Amino acid sequence: MATRKDTAAFILEQLGHADRFSVRPMFGEFALYADGKVVGLICDDQLFVKITPESRALQDRCEEGSPFPGAKAYLLVPEDLIAGDAALPTLLLRMAAALPFPKPKRSRAKR
């Protein structure tokens, strides 16, 4: 089931900091970026956050789940935590600070 655009917009609105958070479509779902780094996925109208040492603070309030078959485990963030926890954006920004930037893609050689 594909994620609705209004779900992604709702999550971005709840996070605030429009200059630091963004989403990009990905196969009918969305990747959630903080400061240009992927910190989570929005799949099936649910927010999944990467499991990192920084995100372990959410572990007691979130269950582990897989955003799609074959994916590694993520933390499934419940809607009440998205809408009601002012600390969530700060935690996601701390995660982004700890994550490495993605490796630049190599350009294809001309034949």
Using 50, 70 and 90 to split pLDDT, how confident is the model at 111? low
CATH of domain 5-98: 3.30.1460
State both tokens at 111: 């034949």
* Chain centroid offset of residue 26 CA: 12
Q: Is the pTM of this model over 0.85?
A: no
- Edge to edge, the sheet with strand 37-43 lists 21-26, 29-34, 37-43, 46-49, 74-77, 63-65
Q: What are the residue ranges spanned by the domains of the chain?
A: 5-98
Using 50, 70 and 90 to split pLDDT, how confident is the model at 42? very high
Q: What is the 3-state secondary structure of 15-70? A: HCCCCCEEEEEECCEEEEEECCEEEEEEECCEEEECCCCCHHHHCCCCEEECCCCC
Q: What is the mean pLDDT of residues 76-105?
A: 86
Q: What is the mean pLDDT of residues 2-25?
A: 87
Give 50-88 pLDDT, tens digit per residue.
998 888 888 888 899 888 888 899 999 988 888 887 788
